[in-house]
Structure 1
Amino acid sequence: MKHIGILGGSFDPPHTGHLLIAEHVRDALELDEVWFIPTFVSPHKDTLQTSPNERLEMLDRAINENDQFKLSTVEMERQGTSYTVDTMTLLNERHSDTTFYFIIGADMVAYLPHWHDINKLTQLVTFVGVKRRGYELQTDYPIVQVDIPMIDISSTDIRQRIKAGKTIKYIVPHAVETYINERRLYE
């Protein structure tokens, strides 16, 4: 039986916080891999600043140095609004020999009651909650808690820094920073 972590999100852009979360959960739970799944259209976000292909390219560049990180395009292939329950149903059908662990920050733990078809989803995946400043890891839904080093980075803050002409060095992987600069994203 394989044990795979799933880290989903818009990744607009991906940053070192995403990588830190994935690596520490992978290590703590002794997962075989962590799959990064960028959403096509997020049910939790109003708009995305970059195209699906740009987000895929940035994410590929962000994770390419870790052999235990994989990029899954399952939501991009399906297009439309990306509901986790649909993604996990599909992944469970395709990988019946795998136990999946869906990694979420404390902000999403608090939002679990509002997730699409949450009761079915809790039967398909084990949720893993990690701390995030300003949120508690408390819910009525079953979650595994993993302590990680606190790092206060968000994609929203990165986009704001770029618009303000501030550095994003070390907040995103170098390859992502280079791609953003070359394409003049988020300006």
Structure 2
Amino acid sequence: MPYSEPNSATLTPTAIFGGMFNPPHFGHLHPLQDALNLLSLNKLALMPCHIPPHKVTPEVSTEHRLAMLALLCAEDRRFCIEDIEIRSNKTSYTVETLKQLKKRTQSPLWLFMGTDSFNSLRSWHQWQSLIQLCNIFVLKRGREALLHFPEISEYMDCSAKKPLNEAQLLSLHTQTGKVVALETKLLNVSSTQIRNEIRTRNESEAKISEALLPESVLNYIHKHHLYES
């Protein structure tokens, strides 16, 4: 159930977007830029996962992923790195991470994710506790459909051309368990696609990759011979 926090309406939300970032790319950055504009938000933390519960541990080191993520953040100073999961030797469960973040801040917690992640939410560890800790912002693209869960208190929709109004933002500052579907740009790119291109790349494929991630990140990958085998 939603609850109110004292003075939470006056606090800047702690906004986070988690992922493997292996490597980070424009498919991460551009939809989040749309989301920040829709929410009049000026800070969002990218949170790399250390020990994923549902995915294979990355073949590149944590240090390389952090370095590439820092280069991605340099593209837009509204983004920063949250290393709370990287510093833990435990499996990265989002609900446990949010509990830790809640201990260190009184700010509202805003969790960003893609449609595919949201639609699989009920398979997440202690997901009912998760929605009691935060509001969820889904980066929805085109005709992607969101599943509706009765356990979630309220869904709010807006289009890419319609930022949330003051009343909606106030509600999101003072309550949890809400889901906001944010219409964002469709960029058909994945980290898996980029890794596969690099493994088999020729000159033309390298140019394709430059359209999918910052040149600084691509140069870093080439310099350290990442994903080549």
**What TM-score, normalized to structure 2?**
0.77
Q: Does 1:26 align with 2:39?
A: no
Aligned position for 2:212? 171
Q: Which runs of 5+ in 2 are unaligned?
A: 1-10, 153-177
Aligned residues: 186
Q: Distance in 2 between matches of 1:23 and 1:31?
A: 10
8 A contact 1:2–1:32 mirrored in 2: no
> What is the DSSP-based 3-state SS (H/G/I as helix, E as strand, rest coil) of the residue aligned with 2:16?
strand
User: Cα distance 1:161–1:132, how it changes in 2: closer, same or farther (>3 A)?
Assistant: farther
Output one character per residue of 1:72-128: Cα deviation in whole Å (capped at 9) or x when no partner: 1110111221110111111111111x1121111111011100011101110111111
Q: Does 1:111 align with 2:120?
A: yes
8 A contact 2:51–2:91 mirrored in 1: yes
**What TM-score, normalized to structure 1?**
0.94
User: Cα distance 1:133–1:145, how it changes in 2: closer, same or farther (>3 A)?
Assistant: closer
Deviation at 1:29, TM superposition (A): 1.4
Give the alignment's Cα RMSD to 1 decimal: 1.5
Q: Does 1:144 align with 2:145?
A: no
Deviation at 1:135, TM superposition (A): 4.7
Deviation at 1:15, TM superposition (A): 0.2
Deviation at 1:132, TM superposition (A): 4.9
Deviation at 1:133, TM superposition (A): 7.2
Q: Distance in 2 between matches of 1:117 and 1:79?
A: 19
Aligned position for 1:184? 225
Aligned residues with identical type, % of pairs = 31
User: Cα distance 1:42–1:81, how it changes in 2: closer, same or farther (>3 A)?
Assistant: same
> What is the DSSP-based 3-state SS (H/G/I as helix, E as strand, rest coil) of the residue aligned with 1:18?
helix
Q: Distance in 2 between matches of 1:23 and 1:133?
A: 16
Deviation at 1:32, TM superposition (A): 3.3
> What is the DSSP-based 3-state SS (H/G/I as helix, E as strand, rest coil) of the residue aligned with 2:108?
strand
> What is the DSSP-based 3-state SS (H/G/I as helix, E as strand, rest coil) of the residue aligned with 1:13?
coil
Q: Distance in 2 between matches of 1:137 and 1:61?
A: 32
